[in-house]
Amino acid sequence: MIRICYYTINGETELGLNFNSKIIPYKDVNRIFLLEERLHNKIPTKPELLKYSNDLITPFIELNNILKNKNFQNVKTLDIQKIKFLPPVIEPSKIICSGLNYADHARELGKPLPEELNLFSKTPNTLIAHRDIIRIPSISKCIDYEAELAIIIGRKCKNISASEAADYILGYTIMNDVTARDLEFKNGIQWFRSKSLDTFAPIGPFILINTGEVNPNNLRIRLWVNNELRQESNTNRMVFNCYEIVSDVSRDLTLRPGDIISTGTPPGIGMTRKNEPKYLKPGDIVKIEIEKIGCLENPVG
């Protein structure tokens, strides 16, 4: 099992490997284990390179196989607090999201379970990294959080079946589908406008590479605001699982490496809190944790 991240340190963008809560620079691992001599496919060492690759999956699977059971005790590690994380993907060709995809979330909204996927999109300007600030825009006073598991596509695909989908998934990360609720319900339903404002898609910090060792359809997912647990569920409660979602989207769109598909949020959003809504305000800290993947944390400003 391997997790990757991208970050800047001393003005340089680097690829890191996450093992046992530590970040190990890929360049050091490459030097110590002579990876360039052993890898048949080039590893993308900057996040903007992901979308230009024809096949992201093969090089990272090769890397995982080479590093499996290796001892990293004597390899330099970085202090996570001293590096500036980047979004794990920069300017993907698509950010596709799923609405009402948790049965208990549909129930809390008084909605029937969807018979097919409810899809919408966000734009790349929304993407921010771990610890970046979620900015409250002047046009909204009702900013809400949504903890979500996000899929990163690793190979170009079109019209694939659910049974084939895993072969096209690079890995999994965390996304917060931040939403301006007052804009969402202004003049009908406006998912695109309410969810595509600047900074409205915190993502990362890690991509859990899809090596087949982790089942994405059975992961605990939780969200806290200022240490108050607001959302808690499991991806096994999704109406449509990860593979079904990728298959369904691929029927409509050609998916490309680096594309992001977010899989929907569980119950507990601020809009539905008992007595009165609990929206985000400046000074809040939002933390999302998904089992096996890590934690995404962002202040609100």
Do 216 and 242 meet the contact criterion of CB atoms below 8 Å apart?
yes
User: Given this model, what pLDDT does residue 166 score?
Assistant: 98
Q: Cα dihedral sign for 168, 154, 151, 5?
A: positive
CATH number of 95-299: 3.90.850.10
User: Given this model, what pLDDT does residue 204 score?
Assistant: 97
For residues 140 and 273, the model is more confident at 140
pLDDT at 79 over 90: no
Residues of the chain with CATH 3.90.850.10: 95-299
Q: Minimal CA–CA distance to 29: which of 58, 63, 65?
A: 63
For residues 216 and 190, the model is more confident at 216
Calculate the alpha carbon distances from 108 to 181, 188, 238, 270, 291 in Å.
Answer: 16, 20, 14, 12, 24
Distance from CA of residue 77 to its chain's centroid? Answer: 24
User: Given this model, what pLDDT does residue 209 score?
Assistant: 97
Determine the Cα–Cα distance for residues 256 and 81; give it in Å rounded to an integer: 33
- Span 199-213, average pLDDT: 97
Q: Minimal CA–CA distance to 168: which of 65, 241, 259?
A: 259
Instruction: For 232-267, write each residue's pLDDT tens digit.
Output: 999 999 999 999 999 999 999 999 999 999 999 999
Do 135 and 294 meet the contact criterion of CB atoms below 8 Å apart?
no
What is the DSSP pairing of strand 260-262 with strand 95-99?
Answer: parallel
What is the DSSP pairing of strand 127-128 with strand 12-19?
Answer: unpaired
What is the DSSP pairing of strand 228-234 with strand 220-225?
Answer: antiparallel
- Its pTM stands at 0.96
pLDDT band at 40 (very low <50, low <70, confident <90, very high): confident
Determine the Cα–Cα distance for residues 73 and 70; give it in Å rounded to an integer: 9
What contacts 297, CB < 8 A, 6 or more positions away? Answer: 130, 131, 285, 286, 287, 288
- Span 160-178, average pLDDT: 98
Instruction: For 175-194, write each residue's pLDDT tens digit.
Output: 999 999 999 888 777 888 89
Q: Minimal CA–CA distance to 291: which of 154, 174, 140, 200?
A: 174
Instruction: For 255-298, write each residue's pLDDT tens digit.
Output: 999 999 999 999 999 999 877 899 999 999 999 999 999 999 99
Q: Minimal CA–CA distance to 50: which of 19, 13, 84, 83?
A: 13
User: Given this model, what pLDDT does residue 184 score?
Assistant: 86
